[in-house]
């Protein structure tokens, strides 16, 4: 039986495990894939105090840090179900996909999220070679270049405004006949002179020269005509999907599937905390996920020391 069981091995889960273990309590960590999204990242230049690193390198640092402590790391283990404790002091149960069960006094859920992909030819091939998902992360890599933003919701329009200040030109491509972002963002976007907005357009292909992106093809949904835009970068902003399908019905989620947390990382279930990209915390970033993980672990410890003694 764990005092704290962390589900997820990204920056949020790793930070939670280190903070919990440093309290001398029995800590476990189960992750489908230790490292999470960071494993899929090339350059990381905004993890404060580390001016430049690469995803796999940061992950090996996370792993070393967790293994410095007495944490039972169960990698390649996918949680399939959460059975919350019936009453305070009872145990919470995580049922793994392989049928085994893990039991813990407190849980920290940190299953992260995944970017929704366009699913068009070239997208996967040129991922990290021009196809990007995070303007805060990769925007500066396209300084002075031409980029497109796919998606005209709030995140797409925010990304276009952000990128317009860094890159030479932004083409915003929206599937619908109008942008869906808040009016104030749309007004701001319309005021920028290096942004072109294309609506009723479906991106059908990412073009490249074999090594990196050179353009994209979109279909005009009104005329059915195909058009090519030459550019160096494509930011896909059609949604970040939390990995919380397995928690539906067990815990309070927002309509978008984010785990609802308060300022302490507490969820709707006493003794169950959550951290990182899977939660309602604003701005999905490594440094924020790590901070959230630390906070959730300290909250779990606070909860444990208040449990009645057996």
- Known catalytic residues? 134, 137-138
Does residue 261 touch ligand FAD according to CB under 6 A? no
Does residue 31 touch ligand FAD according to CB under 6 A? yes
Please work out, in degrees rounded to the nearest 5, the angle formed at the alpha carbon of residue 255 by the alpha carbons of 84 and 296.
45
Helical H runs in 149-211?
Answer: 154-164, 183-190
Q: How many residues in the shown chain lie near ligand FAD by CB under 6 A?
A: 39
* Choices 3-11, 56-64, 98-106, 172-180 (CB under 6 A): range interacting with ligand FAD: 3-11
**Pick 84 or 199: Cβ nearer ligand FAD:** 84
* Choices 28-36, 143-151, 187-195, 199-207 (CB under 6 A): range interacting with ligand FAD: 28-36
Are 310 and 295 in contact by the 8 Å Cβ rule? The answer is no
**Pick 202 or 269: Cβ nearer ligand FAD:** 269
- Over the window 192 to 231, marking each residue x when it contacts ligand FAD by CB under 6 A and - when it does not, the resulting string is ----------------------------------------
**Residues numbered 52-91 forming contacts with ligand FAD, rule: CB under 6 A:** 78-79
- Over the window 105 to 144, marking each residue x when it contacts ligand FAD by CB under 6 A and - when it does not, the resulting string is -----xxxx-x-----------------xx--x-------
- Compute the distance between CA of residue 118 and CA of residue 235 in angstroms, rounded to an integer: 11
For residue 174, which of 213, 220, 211 has the smallest C-alpha distance? 220
Pairing relationship of beta strands 233-236 and 146-150 according to DSSP bridges: parallel
- Compute the distance between CA of residue 120 and CA of residue 105 in angstroms, rounded to an integer: 45
**Residues numbered 228-257 forming contacts with ligand FAD, rule: CB under 6 A:** 243, 246
Total residue length of the chain: 310
Residues at the site binding ligand FAD, with contacts judged by CB under 6 A: 7-13, 30-34, 36-38, 40-41, 44, 46, 78-79, 110-113, 115, 133-134, 137, 243, 246, 276-278, 284-287, 289
């Amino acid at each position: 039986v764990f005092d704290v069981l962390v589900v997820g091995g990204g920056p949020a889960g790793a930070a939670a495990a280190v903070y919990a273990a440093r309290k001398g309590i029995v800590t476990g960590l189960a992750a489908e894939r230790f490292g999470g999204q960071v494993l899929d990242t090339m350059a990381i230049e905004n993890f404060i105090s580390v001016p430049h690193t690469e995803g796999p390198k940061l992950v090996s640092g996370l792993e070393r840090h967790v293994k410095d402590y007495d944490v039972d790391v169960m990698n390649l283990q996918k949680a399939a179900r959460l059975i919350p404790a019936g009453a305070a002091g009872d145990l919470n149960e995580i049922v793994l996909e392989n049928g085994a069960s893990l039991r813990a006094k407190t849980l920290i859920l940190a299953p992260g999220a995944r970017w929704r992909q366009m699913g068009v030819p070239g997208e996967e091939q040129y991922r990290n070679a021009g196809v990007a998902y995070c303007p805060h992360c990769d925007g500066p890599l396209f300084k002075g270049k031409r980029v497109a933003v796919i998606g005209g919701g709030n995140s797409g329009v925010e990304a276009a405004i952000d990128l317009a200040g860094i890159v030479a030109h932004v083409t915003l491509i929206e599937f619908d006949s109008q942008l869906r972002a808040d009016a104030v963002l749309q007004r701001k976007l319309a005021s920028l002179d290096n942004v072109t907005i294309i609506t009723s357009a479906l991106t059908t292909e990412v073009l490249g020269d074999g090594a990196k992106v050179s353009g994209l093809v979109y279909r005009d949904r009104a005329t059915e005509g195909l058009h090519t835009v030459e550019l160096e970068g494509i930011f896909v902003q059609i949604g970040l999907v939390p990995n919380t399908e397995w928690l539906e019905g067990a815990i309070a989620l927002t309509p978008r599937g984010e785990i609802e947390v308060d300022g302490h990382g507490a969820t709707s279930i006493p003794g169950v905390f959550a951290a990182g990209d899977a939660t309602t915390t604003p701005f999905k970033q490594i440094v924020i996920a790590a901070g959230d993980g630390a906070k959730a672990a300290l909250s779990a410890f606070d909860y444990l020391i208040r449990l009645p003694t057996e």
